[in-house]
Amino acid sequence: MTGCLMLAAVNFHTLLFYLFAILACGFAVGVVVADNVVRMALYLVLSLGATAGLFFLAGAEFIGAMQLMIYVGGTLVLLVFGVMLTAQAPFVTIKTSPGDRVLAGIVAASLLALLLQAAFSVEAWRRPGLGEVAQPAATPIGVALVGIRVDEPPAGAPPGVRSGYLLPFEIVSVHLLVVLVGAAYLARAKRRRTQRAIEVAASVQSLVEPVVEVPRQARGSASALATGGTR
Amino acid sequence: MADFLINSVGLPPWLAWTVVAGVAAVLILNVIAGGALVFIWAERKIAARIQDRLGPTRTGGRFGWLQSLADGIKLLAKEDLMPEGADGLLFRIAPYVSFCASFAAFIALPFAFDFVGQRLNVGVFFVVAVLGLEVFGVILAGYASASKWSLFGAMREAAQVVSYEVPLGMCVVVPVMLAGTMDLVTIAEKQAGWFTNWYLFHDPFTFVVFWVYVTCAVASVNRAPFDLAEAESELVAGFHTEYSGLRWSFFFMAEYGSMFLVSALAAVLFLGGWNGPVPVAALLGLSEGTGDTAHYFVRLIGCGNLLLKATLGVLVMMWIRWTLPRLRIDQVMTVCLKYCTPIAAVMFAGAMLWQLFLPGGLVPGLSRPAGEIREGWLPGPGGAARGPVGQAAKKTVAQVQP
């Protein structure tokens, strides 16, 4: 009974928040520690899913669903690439060199310091009142990204002209496009003829190919039959 | 319900909410598991009839209706194998990932006006997003099995599902646009009345988009003719080649669960949700101004309505599966990228233009203009704002705008 009362004193939201936060952080550490690509991707998905849970807990359902759709779905594609690139041998492990670890540690620590500083510079850990919500909303930023500044006109501009962040936004988009094209170039099917591959291909060929050469005419009709279903 | 538990029974809030969540979860779990049992039996009978056989006839008397239960017991007792080279953790976790994704998507699915696990503002989006996660378990299973068949199956599935999410999303957007909200409850409520109010019959474009949705839905739950992931003739059993026993049955429950889910989603988005073709309840005067019991009764009928529509959808999927031959992987991709996506895009634009220029439909008064009321229009319980599309809500909008 006392246990019941003690539980009742705990805020339900707080409890769930800690649960999701611990899950997110724990699996994030798991991503760093694991040395198998697919396991890393799994931990990343679970961590991002826990973050989506945090969003749902905060009542931001749209962002939560977005998190699931974009990040978790994106990790899915990452996972597919991971499987495809490591499929030569089962369960390839990735070893991180000590130098990389130190470098990553420095970057992570500095980012953490920055975030902590930003977090603690908030005046107080309190819920914003109803009136205060309007100001820090993301809408002005989003509108400014498509070229309209709703907050203030730039200094010295003639009245009515308000330049937003459209140009930087477009530049970033073009960068992303370049990255996409580059990724497609890198990932396209290149036939690397290693010695092993040639041997395997030869052995498979000798097994599969019939010794007697199939007449050209028969081959053509066979392929026509095979592709006939698509027409 | 939580309020009732807190106020009338006197439970502390945390316990009340836990109980409510538990009840919802158990109900949904029963829909999935019980549904899977019934659907597997139905699938066997339908497959048999289509192939001019009898199917199961002996277990449990007349129609072999206990066959699935017998199979379930067999699966429980079966040895749980794991290949020697498999990645143990991933191998074990994969079926649960699939099943959890299928299960979690049901949370936002409304079965009748108030019969919804958690009413979400962005219900459609949530369901589609979570349903896309099911493929994750399949890929994990294919990878962790350390088998070439499994890996091939998983890769095909990944390619297929990632591609089909594009046209599926486009199809889903059309009813969302017509209703002006992503809330599944509101979308279904807006199709109340005669069946001419269903978004399927809203305009020619939605009619076409519905069939594109059906195609993409069949593909996204990996049913034949799109079941490349488990093509028996080439890949043994595809991604679940190495699975046996209960874990294997989790994959099957996930599959039947998501079949039911996409059918129910089609019912809510295009076929009026829990509103029957003829508004029987409204004609009998049950939905307006009557007591709580009548409201509850109406919702129960609505729930049956939705279950019936979803079941019909599943049966159609079975019919398709046993009628059409399997497509090749390139044909699957052709159907998606060259047909479904452009058709869905054109129909989306067409529905938009129709909405713009013919908001009242071709015959005035027959179909109601949709989408004139945006977010925030949430009718009261039991259709307080039903009838001629919530006059009260219209008035408030009109008052706010000037």
pLDDT tens digits for range B72-109:
888 888 777 777 777 778 888 888 888 888 888 888 88
pLDDT at B41: 85
Position with higher pLDDT, A194 vs B171: B171
Percent of chain A with pLDDT over 70: 55
Position with higher pLDDT, B199 vs A190: B199
pLDDT at A231: 34
Does pLDDT of A91 surpass 60?
no
Please report, for chain B, the start and end positions of each structural domain, with discontinuous segments joined by +. 78-362
Position with higher pLDDT, B213 vs B66: B213
Confidence of residue A22 (pLDDT cuts 50, 70, 90): very high
Confidence of residue A109 (pLDDT cuts 50, 70, 90): very high
Does pLDDT of B308 surpass 80?
yes
Confidence of residue B285 (pLDDT cuts 50, 70, 90): low
Contact B302, B274 (CB under 8 A): yes
Return residues 9-68 of A near B (CB < 8 Å).
Answer: 10, 12, 36, 38-39, 42, 45, 61-62, 64-66, 68
**Residue spans of alpha helices (H) in A34-97:** 37-57, 61-66, 73-85
Say yes or no for a CB contact (<8 Å) between B151 and A83. Answer: yes
pLDDT at A3: 46
- The per-residue pLDDT of chain A, averaged, comes to 71
pLDDT at A110: 94
**CA angle B2–B3–B5, rounded 5-degree value:** 65
pLDDT tens digits for range A60-89:
888 888 888 888 777 777 777 766 666 555
Say yes or no for a CB contact (<8 Å) between A87 and B151. Answer: yes
Cis status of the peptide bond prior to B225, with omega within 30 of 0: yes
pLDDT at B74: 81
pLDDT tens digits for range B193-209:
777 778 887 788 888 89
DSSP 8-state secondary structure symbol assigned to residue A138: S
- Retrieve residue B165's tokens: 């999410």
Nearest residue in chain B measured CA to CA from A86:
B143
Nearest residue in chain A measured CA to CA from B182:
A62
- Tell me how far apart the alpha carbons of residues A38 and B157 are, in angstroms, rounded to a whole number: 16
Question: B interface toward A at CB cutoff 8 Å?
Answer: 12-15, 17, 85, 87, 89-90, 93, 120-122, 125-126, 128-130, 132-133, 135-136, 139-140, 142-144, 146, 151, 154-155, 158-159, 162, 165, 328, 330-331, 334
pLDDT at A23: 92
Say yes or no for a CB contact (<8 Å) between A80 and B89. Answer: no
Say yes or no for a CB contact (<8 Å) between A68 and B13. Answer: no
pTM for the predicted model, two decimal places: 0.73
Pick from B291, B79, B255, B265: which is nearest to B182 by CA? B265
pLDDT at B375: 39
Instruction: State yes or no: ipTM above 0.90.
Output: no
Please list the residues that pair with A93 across neighbouring strands. A36
Please report, for chain A, the start and end positions of each structural domain, with discontinuous segments joined by +. 11-104, 136-188
* Three-state DSSP string of chain B: CHHHHHHHHCCCHHHHHHHHHHHHHHHHHHHHHHHHHHHHHHHHHHHHHHCCCCCCCCCCCCCCCCHHHHHHHHHHHCCCCCCCCCCHHHHHHHHHHHHHHHHHHHHHCECCCCCECCCCCCHHHHHHHHHCCHHHHHHHHHHHCCCHHHHHHHHHHHHHHHHHHHHHHHHHHHHHHHHCCCCHHHHHHCCCCCHHHCHHHCCHHHHHHHHHHHHHHHHHCCCCCCCHHHCHHHHCCHHHCCCCHHHHHHHHHHHHHHHHHHHHHHHHHHCCCCCCCCCHHHHCCCCCCCCHHHHHHHHHHHHHHHHHHHHHHHHHHHHHHHHCCCCCHHHHHHHHHHHHHHHHHHHHHHHHHHHHHCCCCCCCCCCCCCCCCCCCCCCCCCCCCCCCCCHHHHHHHHHHCC
Does pLDDT of A204 surpass 80?
no
Min Cα distance A147 → chain B (Å) is 26
Pick from A111, A21, A10: which is nearest to A58 by CA? A21
Those residues whose C-beta lies under 8 Å from the C-beta of residue B67, and which sit 6 or more positions away, are: B40, B41, B44, B56, B59, B60
pLDDT at A192: 59
Kindly list the distances between the CA atom of residue A230 and the CA atoms of A139, B56, B163, in Å, as whole numbers in the listed order.
Answer: 49, 36, 19
Q: For A115-129, A174-188, A202-216, B115-129, which range has the lowest pLDDT when averaged over its residues?
A: A202-216
pLDDT at A184: 78
Does pLDDT of A217 surpass 70?
no
Say yes or no for a CB contact (<8 Å) between B126 and A77. Answer: no
Domain A11-104 has CATH 1.20.120.1200: yes
The answer, for A204 touching chain B at a CB cutoff of 8 Å, is no
